[in-house]
Amino acid sequence: MSWKFSIVRTGIAACLALVTSGSSYAATSLDSLAGGWAGSGSMKPSNGDWEKVRCKVAYNVTKPGKAISLDLRCASDAYKMSLSANIEQNETQLSGNWFESEYRQGGKISGTNSDGLIEARIEGETVAALVTIRTKGGHQSFVMEAPGSWLSQVTIELNKDAK
């Protein structure tokens, strides 16, 4: 499997994690994500050193209180990624789909969004990852774990753009 494809798989999972924001018992609307976010973090190949990554994401509410879309762009010294996703929420349950246009891969998203904590599973034909996302005010952090993938871990810290 090519390293670029593996990076995309892991990056997709990490980015999708960003889409869902919310902590553990009360449903949180995705609407609070609307707008632009930017930040940086790092990713770890399964057999290499941590690498720095920069990301920008734009969230657009498509159905108030029910659905959001995202446009995510991430880059490191070694790759670029362009990801879009559509996420719907029913009470605390999340579902949706994603597509990465640079490497033409896509799949499904499922998980929960409650009270500041999102726990999601991202899947595609060759992708499977677990994501934990915490959002508090204008700050968002996420951790993605993809055991067996070339890119096994990703951590990113984002801040909401000031208007």
pLDDT in tens, the chain (163 residues): 454 545 455 555 455 545 443 333 456 788 888 899 999 998 887 777 888 999 998 989 999 989 999 888 888 887 777 888 999 999 999 999 988 787 677 899 999 998 878 898 988 887 788 888 888 889 998 788 877 766 778 888 999 997 6
DSSP state for residue 1 in the 8-state scheme: -
The C-alpha atoms of residue 140 and residue 39 are separated, in whole angstroms, by: 9
φ and ψ of 65, to 5 deg: 75, -5
**How many other β-carbons are positioned within 10 Å of the β-carbon of residue 6?**
19
**How many other β-carbons are positioned within 10 Å of the β-carbon of residue 157?**
13
The candidate with the shortest Cα–Cα distance to 109, out of 70, 59, 75, 140, is 70
Both tokens of 39, joined, read: 């930040």
Residue 163 contacts by C-beta under 8 Å, 6 or more apart in sequence?
Answer: 35
pLDDT for 25 = 42
Bridge partners for 112 per DSSP: 93, 119
Name the CA dihedral angle for 42, 88, 92, 54, rounded to a multiple of 10 degrees: 10
The C-alpha atoms of residue 50 and residue 113 are separated, in whole angstroms, by: 29
Residue pair 131/119 in contact by the 8 Å Cβ criterion: yes
Both tokens of 87, joined, read: 């996420």
Residue pair 41/154 in contact by the 8 Å Cβ criterion: yes
pLDDT for 21 = 39
